[in-house]
Every structure is written in C-alpha cells, then in structure tokens.
Structure 1
C-alpha cells in the first residue's frame, strides 16, 4: 500500500508541474465490462507529451469474492505532434491492492509494476475521443497465498503482515478502450 501512495505522490508532482493546455476526463470501457469502475484524467504537458492518471477498483464483480483498488499513472509521447491525437508510446506504472478468492485459493496482497504502452486516439468530435491501447511490463507482487479453508492466521507471525508469496511476473500492464472527453 505504501508503494501505491508513493506512485500517487509522484504522479501528483508531475501534474502540479504541468502547464496544461488541454485536460481530458476518461474512462476505460473494457474495465467497466469487467465490473471495475474507473476514472482517469489526462493533462497535456508539452507539444508532444501528456500525463495520465487513472484510478480503478471493484468489489465482488459478477458475484465473485474479489476486492481490488489501484492506480495507473502514465507518461505519453505523441508522434503526431499534437497530444491526444493519433498514435503514442508511453511508460505506465501500476499500483494495486487486492483480496481475491479464486478456485479455492486466497490471494491477498499488493502489486506494483512498470511497462511500455502503445496506443491510438481516434478523434470522433472536437471534444470526444476513443482510445485503443495496450502495454506490457514487469509486475512485482507480495501477497499472502493460501487455501480458502485454511486458517492462515494460525501459522503466521508479525500480526498478520507476513507474505508467503512474492516475485516478479511479465504481464499486460495496461489494456483498454477508453472514452475521453476533452474539457479545455
């Protein structure tokens, strides 16, 4: 959780330094399809650059025993010479805290990662865009992992804070189809 707060502070620093000419509010339709509400904001920081910050979460999607909350900051470089139009490449980070029960296993922990993204923003109207993007990166996770019927607390020390599973995985770090409204 401390890493998630660190990512928010870092993203906030970049946002405060930005002299934004354009601001967009956006949401990822694919995440809504997975019953994960989300909201993002993108600020233009230069002639070819922008910074985006998205937050998301869910609670028992499709009736499954799952809770998640996360943040995704991203720095984007636009090839067109005009931010929020056409193709871009970016560096995205991910911070998430989760508690998931899946097929008799419980996963409770935090994850943080960084990776490269690519995308395309299609202008529909003057203030409305649809973005298609995907990214791949390395994600570090630290979690308590056990069977759903076990009493994990009987076997742990340090007031339930100890993780028994951790490591790195190469995974998709960002994937979506976003609807974007440009405010100014």
Structure 2
C-alpha cells in the first residue's frame, strides 16, 4: 500500500489578509498567501466594489481586481522586508466622483467603463504582532494597459473607445494579516 503525502498548513505557511486602505474606499477585499519555500511566498488578492453611490447623483466607483504576487523575503517569510512581482487585472465602471488631492479630475464630469491588465514590482515590510497576527505595509509600481469607453456624465452622451498606457504606482497596502496554524 502506497502512502500519499498530504498537504499541511503549518504556522507561517498560510496567511489570510485584508488591505485596510482598500476598505477605506468601501471595497471589500481578501488575500491568501502561501509559503512556497524557506524565503518565498505566493499571494492572490481579490477586491470587489459592486456598490452604486447613494444620493441619486449617479456617482460610481464599481470595480473588481485580482492580483497574484510572488514574493522573496530577505530574512524569513511573513517577517521583515520582502520584494515581489505582481500581475493584476480587472474591470471598472467609474464616474461622477471627486477624488481627494485632485487625482484624476476627469472622473467628476465623465464616466469610464473598461478593463485593465498589468503588472509591476512590490516592496514591503511585515511586522509580527503576536502568534497569529501580523501587520504589513507595501507599495508597488508598474505598467497597466486599459481600453475603455468614456461617457459624459452631465449630458449622458457616449464617447469613443480609447485606451490608456499607465506607468506609475499600481499598489498600496496597509494589511492586517492572520497566520493560520
């Protein structure tokens, strides 16, 4: 009779996480990170914002994103500094919104509906808080390709199809991490 090894979830092998910055945009999100080696982990992150804004002003920040990432830890996984490479993809339908700091001012008078795909590099740090809890800060930069349709939010007319090639920040996270034992 052959003995088949079974996968096991040990301390510092599996973590569930959520990005608190993303929650600030009313976007529920969850991630799972799994140890792949002594100093390597793989992560998959998912966020979904299906809400229409209240108030009858037709404002919307609806979108979804999936973001896989491969990480290298300098000391040990789930503790200290790491670097990684991430990919990302999703869809959006956003408009009628005034974002803080004057970011993307065209969203105030226009609605954009499209999809995106891209990737980049990540750097971050994770602090151990207790046996099961960690806190993580990370940032990423890279490239995104996004075809979309632009609509006039005020006059309700449909514009032409366009696309954007974006290079810049692609990720910002302050995450609460739960390590499964």
Question: When the two structures are superposed, what TM-score results if normalisation uses the length of structure 1?
Answer: 0.79
Whether 1:167 and 2:164 are equivalent positions in the alignment is: yes
Number of residue pairs the alignment of both structures matches: 157
Equivalent residue, structure 2, for 1:25: 16
How far apart are the structure 1 equivalents of 2:9 and 2:85?
Answer: 19
Higher helix share: 1
- 1:67 pairs with one of 41, 58, 62: 62
RMSD between superposed Cα atoms in Å? 1.9
Q: Which of structures 1 and 2 has the bigger CA Rg?
A: 2
Distance 1:78 1:89, change over 3 A: same
- 1:55 pairs with one of 46, 49, 59: 46
Whether 1:126 and 2:126 are equivalent positions in the alignment is: no
SS at match of 2:129: strand
Distance 1:112 1:19, change over 3 A: farther
How far apart are the structure 1 equivalents of 2:52 and 2:178?
Answer: 26
Question: When the two structures are superposed, what TM-score results if normalisation uses the length of structure 2?
Answer: 0.80
Unaligned runs of 5+ in 2: 1-6, 96-106
Distance 1:20 1:78, change over 3 A: farther
Cα displacement string for residues 81-120 of structure 1 (whole angstroms, at most 9, x for unaligned residues):
x211100000011112000113120100001110000000
